[in-house]
Amino acid sequence: MIFRESDGIKITLTKEQEDMLQTADNIKICIGYSTTLAFDIYNHYDLIGFALLNKFDEGCYFLWDYAIDTDFQNRHYGTQALIELINFMKNSFGMHTMTTTYIYGNDHAKHVYEKVGFVETDEVNNENTHEVNMILKLTD
């Protein structure tokens, strides 16, 4: 996988998947933050995904948005790209901890995150949000 700096989300998603991410306009705003990293994810020459991360402490990043293009879903690219993104972040940015959330009931996201080593920490359940927080701590 190749991770290229991104200026915004360019992949195709279903409406339901789009609703699980920030809007394209919000993503563009977030990319402007000094603590944010955004990557287009390529498999050879094919643009297959997008990742948006926010640094919240030294070596600690929140995986804010992560998605695989609909044309490449259900082919194990999501897991493979996430494993390679984690290694890329560790080697290029000194990351030792990654956190993320998924919307409660999104069993596919839960499965992918758990498959690469994330563990649930708690749930946020209020009027507007029902998300599950997860963490991945890397060892040397």
List pLDDT tens digits, range 35-73: 999 999 999 999 999 999 999 999 999 999 999 999 999
CATH classification for the domain delimited by 2-137, as one of 2.30.42.10, 3.90.480.10, 3.40.630.30, 3.40.50.300? 3.40.630.30
H/E element, 119: strand 119-125
Among candidate residues 98, 1, 93, 92, the one with its CA nearest the CA of residue 40: 1
Taking the domains of the chain in order of start, what are their residue ranges?
A: 2-137
- What does the pLDDT read at residue 95? 98
- Residue 140: per-residue pLDDT: 65
C-beta of residue 99 within 8 angstroms of C-beta of residue 134: yes
pLDDT < 50 positions in the chain:
none
Tokens of 56: 């919240």
Listed in sequence order, the residues at least 6 apart from 97 whose beta carbon sits closer than 8 Å to its beta carbon are 57, 59, 60, 61, 135, 136, 137, 138
